[in-house]
């Protein structure tokens, strides 16, 4: 398994602002994933972040709204831009490693 940390663990933000979420892994990984989990719902993949190339976004998610950085093999950031209350969710990063995919603890975002 891997040790995955996220910052911040939670935040309350105002409508129209942006928040950058950090994900740090204790080992080098080629792929990192960003998911959204809306209240009481399952996980939905936002994008795949590959080091050295642009992130690949899933249907319904765009780079302008969720820009992603992947400066090295152990770190990635997800920015939630121009937030609205509908963006209130838990945002999780994950990495594939060995025989599974492992998740960070999540960032709980509330937009007022």
Using CB under 8 A as the criterion, which residues of the chain lie in contact with another protein when the complex forms?
Answer: 1, 4, 31, 33, 41-45, 48, 58, 92, 94, 96, 99-106, 108
Question: Smallest distance, Å, CB 101 to another protein?
Answer: 6
Q: Of 8 and 16, which has the nearer Cβ to another protein?
A: 8
Q: Of 11 and 58, which has the nearer Cβ to another protein?
A: 58
Sheet holding 19-25, edge to edge: 4-7, 19-25, 75-80, 68-72
d(C-alpha 11, C-alpha 95), whole Å:
23
CA neighbor of 11 nearest in space, from 83, 70, 65, 74: 83
Question: Smallest distance, Å, CB 43 to another protein?
Answer: 5
DSSP tally for the chain: helices H, then strands E: 0, 11
Q: Of 16 and 29, which has the nearer Cβ to another protein?
A: 29
Question: Smallest distance, Å, CB 85 to another protein?
Answer: 20
Distance of CA 56 to the CA centre of its chain: 13
């Amino acid at each position: 398994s891997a040790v995955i940390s996220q910052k911040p663990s939670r935040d309350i933000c105002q409508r129209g602002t942006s928040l950058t979420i950090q994900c740090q892994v204790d080992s080098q990984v080629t792929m990192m994933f960003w998911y959204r989990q809306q209240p009481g719902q399952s996980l939905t993949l936002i994008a795949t972040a590959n080091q050295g190339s642009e992130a690949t976004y899933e249907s319904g998610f765009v780079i302008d709204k969720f820009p992603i950085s992947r400066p090295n093999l152990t770190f990635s950031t997800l920015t939630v831009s121009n937030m609205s209350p509908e963006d209130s969710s838990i945002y999780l990063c994950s990495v594939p490693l060995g025989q599974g995919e492992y998740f960070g603890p999540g960032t709980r975002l509330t937009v007022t």
